[in-house]
Structure 1
Amino acid sequence: MQNLHKLMMKRIKLISGIFLCATVLMGCKSKNEHTSTEKASKPNIIIYLTDDMGYGDLGCYGNPIIETPAIDKFASEGVLLTDCHSAGTVCSPSRAGLLTGRHPYRSGIYYLQGYKGAHLRDSETTIAEMLKSGGYETAFLGKWHLSKLEKSEKIKEPHPGDQGFDYWFASTHNAYEGPKNFTKFIRNGEAVGEVDGWYCDVLTEEAIDWLTNKRDKNKPFLLIVSTHEPHAPLSPPEEYSEKYNNSTVDSLEHAINYGGIARTEYDISQNKKEYYGTISQLDNAFANLMKTVDQENLKDNTMVIFTSDNGPEHPVNLEESKGEWEAPTRDFCFGTPGNFRGMKRYPYEGGHRVPGIVRFPGKIPAGTTSDELVVATDFMITIANLAELETTKNNILDGTDALPAFLGKKTARNKPYLWVFPTHEDTYFRMPHMAMRYNNYTLLGWFPEKLENETLMDWMKSSVPVKFELYDLSNDPEQRNDLASIKPELVDMIRPLMLEQWIEIRDEGPIWENMK
């Protein structure tokens, strides 16, 4: 009997052991399956696009005056890009390039939306359309500037909903009337009327509401937040601007560089607090959005890209600007491109080298810096690869996968990139018409002068660069020493690449009837 009892106890222990092992194995399997599911889930994407923010406008990029604690903290959690560029040197082209992964001139966005009828055509495939085909939910909030959003019998251009966005709350242009209590937002095709608050704060509230209440939480998502700030006109709350109204700020002004571009002859220094305060207001708005991302447990599986649409704006002489609306409001623009030459519109570095910060916990090492060239047209391919989706085969893309750069590695770029702004008004802006990067060098080119009886479209569609400048950015980031006459053999080697790339892009772009 005693032996039988011992035998039964042994069997119970054996069975218990087997059961325990099975339980552990099942638990491990369950855990592995859960982990596998997590790893297999597609990442969420947030793109935070500021307007006219300069490369040197943030604390993490060395600004000695402006306080940006939230963005600086964000940079410490991801990678700070030192060679990040917008797709264009002015609003609409840069936005078209970011959304399509294509040089904006392929899409026909040569200047600004609406100029001679230009708009982003429905035939273009956007990041939103690509992600939506892969099961993503998509939202666009803020400045669109790629088509006319207001309803009209005469003008019917594709809106964000036609370009792949399930939800949109946007304005056609800037907040020309001022960023406070804006009256021209349109939500999913319907005019909203006057909103209470400042543009960037209203966008934050809208983004938070969409993230917490309106989206399908069973789907991965794309959210683009496109601010008006710090584009002129500027009028931040006094709590932000007054913190910069003191002698300490005045004493630091000597350290600020404005791209080597001549500013106004009259004193506008009393306005600088409005610009600095706007950047701090924007920093707070971004902080509130990131707080919601954390609260919704989205941080670990969300790649957030923070960048700008082009370099900073600068004041112009009232007489040279011909009395345009923006001349007096631009007296408030104190954005800086850091040590780089040029500002908004200029193909020099300061016109398109912009802040670029990317956070993706567990994927991108925190607190890192990358010196690799990254262009906003890279986002399409980078996001497609992360989401394991194919980009459209119908359109030529001009980007590359930038994820290696985010990880501190080298990228493989199979063709150079061109930044183009074909102004023909030499009395307004004296600048080259395009720039192309070739390793550490940048080649700049001028078109021939536009003839008086020549249309703008004919001039641009027939022109190629005829005059050149060459700079070595590795030892001359301020682009002070033109090497074209010193290294003519290098110019002769790079110039055919510029001409080939430009002619291909130029010839693909559509001809807008109003530009003839």
Structure 2
Amino acid sequence: MDLYLLLFLLFPCVSSKPNVIIFIADDLGYGDLGCYGNTSVRTPNIDSIAREGVKMTQHLTAASTCTPSRSAFLTGRYPVRTGMAATGLMRVNTWPYSSCGLPSSEVTFAEQTKKAGYMNGFIGKWHLGLHKDTLGDFEHHPLNQGFDYFYGLIGTNLDDFGHETKVITSQRPYWYGELFSIWAVTAVSLWCLYRANYIRVFSFVVFVFIWSVPVTFVYILFENYTLLSSFIHRNYDLVEQPIRLAGLSQRLVNEGLEFIQNATAAEKPFLLVMSWVHMHVFLRTAKEFEGRSKFGRYGDALEELDWSVGKILKAVRKYGLEDNTLVYFTSDNGGHLEIGTDGGYNGILKGGKTHGSPDGGIRVPGMIKWPSVLNEGKVIDEPTSLMDIYNLISTAVGVELPSDRQIDGRDILPLLKGDVSVSPHEFMFHYCGNRLKAARYRPRDGSKTWKLVTHEPDLIPGSKVCTFVCSCNFDVALTTPKLYDMTSDLGESNPIDANSNTYKEISSIILQAIDNHKNSVEPVETQFTWKKLAPKLTWQPCCNGRFPFKCLCTDPKYPE
């Protein structure tokens, strides 16, 4: 007994459950960080995670847009299995007060740690829904998905919140002209109906009126995006409307620090997800970061993000938790090329956010440090996935994976530790919405990773971008799929000759894997119907209870 006690005192981390801290950035490009080659913006705190742990160079999301990527991240499952893959044009949960959201039947990694007695906190951007059937059921809320504390955005950050530009005019530059034309035709039609009482004219007027009503409704929604979507919640309570973007990072950091302090005081292991609002537009920082970088407001926001990560890491050291804390940093998808310098940098990679098949939208920074388990300074070039974190957390806290569903994440701990050298993923599948656009193949021997692309984004002719966002519906189906060696051709610029033996052999293997994967996907109710995606105006909150009048409040915890 004395020997056991001595060993416990000498090596407490062996017997105690590890804490888990997850940093997930929003729309951060693969080439934005110093540890991934950026020399124009300073990111020393984020870089330290790679230096003191493991950096993954082929780390992939399950989607190139926020909502489906985050659902896969939390559940370890492709969005197509959970109903979180879009079936139409709308690929994200645009309105926080719609009924679209992550089904409560899914088991998140927070519910996994909950089984092990963890205290779970989620700070920042959720973007996975709120209510399901009725106002106040909170079916999709973080507190109904395994978390004990939530502070942040149910929805997302948007251009409209900065009052400089609007999402709708970014996508449709002639939006107001189109509206004026529709309303003018409606007015003329009504005048004609008034002047001539003919059935044909009446039918035409009815048609025009029916068309103009939904367009006008859409106009009202998008003209009032800030009123309808800009909120901060603490647990179930609305505490700020609209969001003060300047200083938001500091408030998120403070909430994260308080959570760590409370969990430490309670002597409980904890899971903390810091889901940053940066680097999603609208980009606004606290005053002390304005003009700090040499890369405009994107660089300023990136340096504020790095400062935020540094504050949390410093607290972990302060409380003596560093050795037994698993720290993970990533992004939900790649940089948004269509918005220029405010959209991030994906390095040599082809494509970006919303692009279905290219790596620029799905290959993201990925770093893990866990000092008591992982050696520092290791670089892994093997394919890994955000979905693997589900398995890693479950293993770390000692909880078995759910046995009643397909988990697409894999156990990467042996790879991280260096016990194996080949990715546990033989095949990985790349979706745009609910449509499969490409697939990866990592043979069990050799060192190459292959990628077969069956569809490409419908880019603006002569350019490398779409108009604001790419649409899965209009992707170009390739008559002959393109095969790339992703080990040497990161930019997907030199497809393998389709007449070569290599192409024929590898493409046939991948196409068979695609068929097998499709057969493994069971039908599920989609969350991306127009009925579910549409905002429920009767659910819209207002600080003073008089929606839509004077819906203004400031979080009393942070009055300045």
Give the structure-2-normalised TM-score. Answer: 0.71
Corresponding position: 1:223 with 2:283: no
Corresponding position: 1:488 with 2:498: no
Aligned partner of 1:514 in structure 2 is: 529
CA distance in 2, matches of 1:42, 1:62: 35
Corresponding position: 1:418 with 2:400: no
Secondary structure at 1:279 match in 2: helix
CA distance in 2, matches of 1:76, 1:122: 37
CA distance in 2, matches of 1:293, 1:179: 33
Secondary structure at 1:374 match in 2: strand
Corresponding position: 1:191 with 2:200: no
CA distance in 2, matches of 1:290, 1:445: 42
Structure 1 residues 414 and 340: alpha-carbon distance in aligned structure 2, compared to 1, 3 A threshold: closer
CA distance in 2, matches of 1:485, 1:496: 17
Which whole-Å deviations, capped at 9, do the CAs of 1:447-466 have from their partners, x for residues lacking one? 999xxxxxxxxx99xxx997
Matches within 5 A, 1:338-357: 338-346=347-355, 347-357=357-367
Q: Which amino acid aligns with 1:479?
A: E
Query: Do the aligned residues in 2 keep the contact of 1:99 with 1:126 (CA within 8 Å)?
Result: yes
Structure 1 residues 493 and 73: alpha-carbon distance in aligned structure 2, compared to 1, 3 A threshold: closer
Secondary structure at 1:34 match in 2: helix
Matches within 5 A, 1:398-417: 398-408=408-418, 409-411=420-422, 413=424, 415-417=426-428
Secondary structure at 2:317 match in 1: helix
**Residue 515 of structure 1: how far off its partner (Å):** 5.3
**Residue 405 of structure 1: how far off its partner (Å):** 2.6
Secondary structure at 1:390 match in 2: coil
Aligned partner of 1:445 in structure 2 is: 454
Which whole-Å deviations, capped at 9, do the CAs of 1:129-185 have from their partners, x for residues lacking one? 011011111111111111136996298532111111011113122222548999611
Secondary structure at 2:313 match in 1: helix
Bigger Rg, structure 1 or 2: 1
Query: Which of 516, 519, 533 is matched with 1:500 structurally?
Result: 516
Structure 1 residues 513 and 388: alpha-carbon distance in aligned structure 2, compared to 1, 3 A threshold: closer
CA distance in 1, matches of 2:132, 2:125: 13
Structure 1 residues 104 and 415: alpha-carbon distance in aligned structure 2, compared to 1, 3 A threshold: farther
Secondary structure at 2:82 match in 1: coil
Which whole-Å deviations, capped at 9, do the CAs of 1:26-84 have from their partners, x for residues lacking one? 4x553213246531111111110000001110011101211111112232111111111
Query: Do the aligned residues in 2 keep the contact of 1:314 with 1:334 (CA within 8 Å)?
Result: yes
Secondary structure at 1:471 match in 2: strand
Matches within 5 A, 1:273-284: 273-284=296-307
Aligned partner of 1:40 in structure 2 is: 15
Corresponding position: 1:379 with 2:415: no
CA distance in 1, matches of 2:399, 2:125: 27
CA distance in 2, matches of 1:488, 1:353: 26
Aligned partner of 2:379 in structure 1 is: 369
CA distance in 1, matches of 2:497, 2:433: 21
Structure 1 residues 299 and 214: alpha-carbon distance in aligned structure 2, compared to 1, 3 A threshold: closer
**Residue 493 of structure 1: how far off its partner (Å):** 2.5
Corresponding position: 1:102 with 2:151: no
CA distance in 2, matches of 1:376, 1:234: 25
Secondary structure at 1:49 match in 2: strand
Using the TM superposition, name which of 493-502 and 191-200 deviates more: 191-200
Aligned partner of 1:142 in structure 2 is: 124
CA distance in 1, matches of 2:335, 2:457: 27
Matches within 5 A, 1:159-308: 159-176=141-158, 177-178=160-161, 184-193=231-240, 197-213=246-262, 217-237=266-286, 239-245=288-294, 272-308=295-331
CA distance in 1, matches of 2:108, 2:259: 21
Secondary structure at 1:495 match in 2: helix
CA distance in 2, matches of 1:228, 1:117: 22
CA distance in 1, matches of 2:405, 2:43: 39
Give the structure-1-normalised TM-score. Answer: 0.76
Structure 1 residues 489 and 126: alpha-carbon distance in aligned structure 2, compared to 1, 3 A threshold: same
**Residue 220 of structure 1: how far off its partner (Å):** 1.0
Secondary structure at 1:371 match in 2: strand
Query: Do the aligned residues in 2 keep the contact of 1:81 with 1:357 (CA within 8 Å)?
Result: yes
Query: Do the aligned residues in 2 keep the contact of 1:128 with 1:165 (CA within 8 Å)?
Result: yes
Aligned partner of 1:263 in structure 2 is: none
Structure 1 residues 511 and 413: alpha-carbon distance in aligned structure 2, compared to 1, 3 A threshold: same
Which whole-Å deviations, capped at 9, do the CAs of 1:467-491 have from their partners, x for residues lacking one? 5221111221110112262323432
Structure 1 residues 125 and 337: alpha-carbon distance in aligned structure 2, compared to 1, 3 A threshold: same
Using the TM superposition, name which of 105-114 and 146-155 deviates more: 146-155
Secondary structure at 1:501 match in 2: helix
Which whole-Å deviations, capped at 9, do the CAs of 1:80-119 have from their partners, x for residues lacking one? 1111112221101111111001111111111212689542
Q: Which amino acid aligns with 1:274?
A: R
Q: Which amino acid aligns with 2:257?
A: I
Aligned partner of 1:318 in structure 2 is: none
Q: Which amino acid aligns with 2:92?
A: L
Query: Do the aligned residues in 2 keep the contact of 1:138 with 1:166 (CA within 8 Å)?
Result: yes
Secondary structure at 2:120 match in 1: strand
Aligned partner of 2:342 in structure 1 is: 333
CA distance in 1, matches of 2:240, 2:134: 17
Structure 1 residues 484 and 156: alpha-carbon distance in aligned structure 2, compared to 1, 3 A threshold: farther
Query: Do the aligned residues in 2 keep the contact of 1:66 with 1:276 (CA within 8 Å)?
Result: yes
Structure 1 residues 63 and 406: alpha-carbon distance in aligned structure 2, compared to 1, 3 A threshold: same
The CA RMSD over aligned residues, in Å, is 3.1
Query: Do the aligned residues in 1 keep the contact of 2:132 with 2:140 (CA within 8 Å)?
Result: no
CA distance in 2, matches of 1:422, 1:404: 32
CA distance in 1, matches of 2:364, 2:456: 25
Query: Do the aligned residues in 1 keep the contact of 2:42 with 2:303 (CA within 8 Å)?
Result: yes
Query: Do the aligned residues in 2 keep the contact of 1:310 with 1:344 (CA within 8 Å)?
Result: yes
Query: Which of 325, 335, 351 is matched with 1:312 structurally?
Result: 335
Aligned partner of 1:256 in structure 2 is: none
Query: Do the aligned residues in 2 keep the contact of 1:433 with 1:447 (CA within 8 Å)?
Result: no
Structure 1 residues 150 and 512: alpha-carbon distance in aligned structure 2, compared to 1, 3 A threshold: closer
Structure 1 residues 117 and 213: alpha-carbon distance in aligned structure 2, compared to 1, 3 A threshold: closer
Using the TM superposition, name which of 342-351 and 114-123 deviates more: 114-123
Secondary structure at 1:287 match in 2: helix
Query: Do the aligned residues in 2 keep the contact of 1:57 with 1:335 (CA within 8 Å)?
Result: yes
CA distance in 1, matches of 2:514, 2:379: 29
Query: Do the aligned residues in 2 keep the contact of 1:171 with 1:185 (CA within 8 Å)?
Result: yes
CA distance in 1, matches of 2:457, 2:292: 48
**Residue 395 of structure 1: how far off its partner (Å):** 1.5
**Residue 216 of structure 1: how far off its partner (Å):** 5.7
Which whole-Å deviations, capped at 9, do the CAs of 1:259-312 have from their partners, x for residues lacking one? xxxxxxxxxxxxx51111111110011111111111111111100000000110
Using the TM superposition, name which of 93-102 and 474-483 deviates more: 474-483
CA distance in 2, matches of 1:437, 1:361: 31
CA distance in 2, matches of 1:275, 1:481: 31
